[in-house]
Chain A
Amino acid sequence: MNAPAGSDVILSAQGLVKHFGGGRQLFAGRAPLIRAVDGVSFEVRRGETFAIVGESGCGKSTLARLILRLIEPTAGTVRFDGADITAIGEEDMRRLRREMQMIFQDPFSSLNPRMTVGALIAEPLAVHGLASGRERAERVADILRKVGLPPEHAERYPHEFSGGQRQRIGIARALATGPRLVIGDEPVSALDVSIRAQVINLLEDLKAELGLTLILVAHDLAVIRHTSDRIAVMYLGEIVELAERDALFEAPLHPYTRSLIAAIPVPVPGARGARQLLEGDPPSPAAPPPGCRFHTRCPHAEAVCKSERPTLRTLGPGHTVACHLAERLPPSPPSVVTAPASTAKRRRLELFAGARSDSVSVTS
């Protein structure tokens, strides 16, 4: 896993663990030990979009913060371009952060309301000593244009912008230092549907234009399907399945992945027939079940699942899964439904898309 610089792998995580709590509290005895991330390994290839999906409490946001070393891991390593970033000093890490930036879910709470948009974008440039004076102002204007905002908006304050525009500002700020790796933690889930599509398109354009590698942390599988090359599915602190996008959606192997896909409401009336609903809630990460952590909700669980913890096994090209029964499970029912569009509807959608690209796409 020691990828030398210049290789195909830009980032690799090995045996990452993050436990919270467990220490003594003043009055309450011992705080429960939360196993937020519990032994996670994966590699991200240069130029790809790698998605980490899962439901609340699965550890995906903790994992994103570990990758950037915004928090320190309990165990394990993260290598960026071959260098172990969990072992380097503060000063080196600060320098490295130029290369790795983050976009947050809530564009409002991540932007200082007292700073102008220009100052917000110039701040990372100043921190990293990247440009000053007139050059810095030009860089700010340039970045604003890139994210589809008029450069004059540099004088305004975050509250003057809509949610979608604020997320563009968040993206501009992340891009200011010219990073090679950008991690988006639910970057579109706080946005309205039509705005969400604008921001997804923007991220894809910028990725192509700037040669970025993207890691997206999300719970919206439709967005993930649209944007990602490879996907890791997490459940209670572990990766349970990792595969190329189409393989994951068309032939999911892990029972959890299957129920996650089956649970997505599809925008096609009458599309969802009889399907298997997961019972109950995910267990607490403070007391994960023994054996396979999914066994308490798994419709296929057997005795072995209750006692032995499954490890990730490769069952197809680039397709790994942590399930004892993966080979023996019934084939997954076709979970992806799309509606055949009527001629009139298709024609109208074409007209709409055509008219949109004719008009100048200024976002205000």
Chain B
Amino acid sequence: MEAGVSAPTGDVLAVDELTIRFDGHGVDLVDRASFRLGRGETLCLVGESGCGKSITALAVMGLLASPPARITRGRALFQGEDLLSMPRKPLADLRGNRLAMIFQEPMTSLNPAFRIGDQIAEAVVRHHGVSQQEGRARALDVLRRVRIPAAEKRLDAYPHQLSGGMRQRVMIAMALVNRPDLLIADEPTTALDVTIQAQILALIAELQREAGMAMILVTHDLGVVAEVADRVAVMYAGRFVETGPVDAIFSDPQHPYALGLIGSLPSLGKREGRLATIAGSVPPPQRFPAGCRFATRCPFADERCAREVPPLVETSTPGHQVACFKAPLEIHVGGLAA
């Protein structure tokens, strides 16, 4: 597991200051999000509902409906080409080919009226101009790779004839059939039972190892993050509040929001009293504070936090950045609790 920032030359994706605003909202729902992703690397975007993690992913894929969404700033270089300014046609040629996405709910991406073999084959035929027969052969191959039992028979099945776990595998098969360089997965296992989730995550990891595919995984599940991430970006109300190698995020969390998230997880070990909680809930965008957006819920916030936006500052660990005036807490507020 390679920690730290990857060399710029090896970047599969480099996103700089991505800023997204929705018509009718006076604030940026994603505010200057920057990250890079090397070959084979997995970046997890973590945060709760409404933090902007999904719209960040959709923006990179060029799937954000505009209007109402408007990308007001930034670029997303995918192998040197800016996805954000790319015309529709070349972008459509990339998607489903070198760039693929899977969603939480497979039924939204699978067409209920077509057999799954034909749906997967279509992606091959469209992007590689092979024969229908060849497309079907590759579909069969990829269905076997995602361990669909009796794959030959399933080629002719319709999506509704499969279980949730099987559908999720079919969607992954469809995303992977053209061996993408970058996979964006938005909560791909959230709707699944834990035993099926474990199978799917192991499968994606295996395919990554083999093909060097980079992945952005959008999730709210810190257990999944610890398991698959190389690097993590914790998002709150549209901003990255802490980002770094996965070990740093879990062993040395610095932002009060990250601390609250980690402290609120029930442990699988012996019970240790009450769970830590974060007061209140995420404010609606029109009520985002002017300074640090976490200020209204942060037990350490003062006037400066309410007024000024804290920049992301590197900690002692390379690649680990925190946007908090009070970090590290033991130095800035440690005296208070004594």
Contact = CB atoms under 8 A, between A and B. Distances in A.
Given A267-B222, A342-B251, A352 B263 contact: yes
B75 to A, nearest CB: 31
Given A222-B268, A225-B268, A267-B223, A201 B274 contact: yes
B269 A336 contact: yes
B278 interface: yes
A56 B164 CA distance: 10
A43 interface: no
Contacts of A352: 256, 259-260, 263, 276, 299, 329
A200 B194 CA distance: 21
Given A263-B195, A344-B252, A347-B334, A192 B48 contact: yes
Given A200-B275, A344-B328, A266 B226 contact: yes
Chain A contact residues, majority secondary structure: helix
Nearest to B298: A355
A201 B275 contact: yes
**Residue among A226, A336, A337 with the most chain B CB within 10 A?**
A226
B133 interface: no
Interface string B246-262: 11001111101001111
Contacts of B194: 55, 219, 221, 260, 263-265
Contact of A361 (B225, B256, B279): B279
A133 interface: no
Contacts of A363: 279-281
A354 B337 contact: yes
A201 to B, nearest CB: 6
Given A265-B197, A265-B224, A338 B261 contact: no
Contact of B266 (A225, A277, A349): A225
Report the interface size class on chain A: 35 or more
Interface in A254-299: 259-272, 277-281
Nearest to B255: A348
A125 B202 CA distance: 51
B281 A165 contact: yes
B143 to A, nearest CB: 15
B225 A267 contact: yes
Contact of B223 (A192, A265, A345, A351): A265
Contacts of A281: 163, 165-166, 196
B264 interface: yes
Contacts of B48: 192-195
B156 interface: no
B300 interface: yes
A275 to B, nearest CB: 8
Contact of B253 (A225, A260, A278, A345): A345
Given A55-B194, A197-B278, A267-B223, 14 more contacts: A165-B281, A195-B281, A197-B265, A200-B275, A260-B195, A264-B194, A267-B222, A269-B246, A270-B226, A347-B330, A351-B333, A356-B279, A356-B299, A361-B277
Interface of A: 55-56, 162-165, 192-198, 200-201, 204, 219, 221-223, 225-227, 246, 249, 259-272, 277-281, 336-339, 341-342, 344-345, 347-356, 358-359, 361-364
25 contacts: A162-B282, A194-B260, A194-B264, A194-B278, A197-B276, A198-B277, A219-B194, A225-B266, A259-B195, A265-B224, A265-B227, A267-B223, A267-B250, A277-B199, A281-B165, A336-B269, A345-B252, A345-B253, A347-B329, A348-B259, A349-B263, A351-B300, A351-B337, A363-B280, A364-B280
Q: A-B pairs with the 7 shortest C-beta distances? A: A265-B223, A355-B299, A226-B266, A197-B264, A55-B193, A192-B48, A338-B269
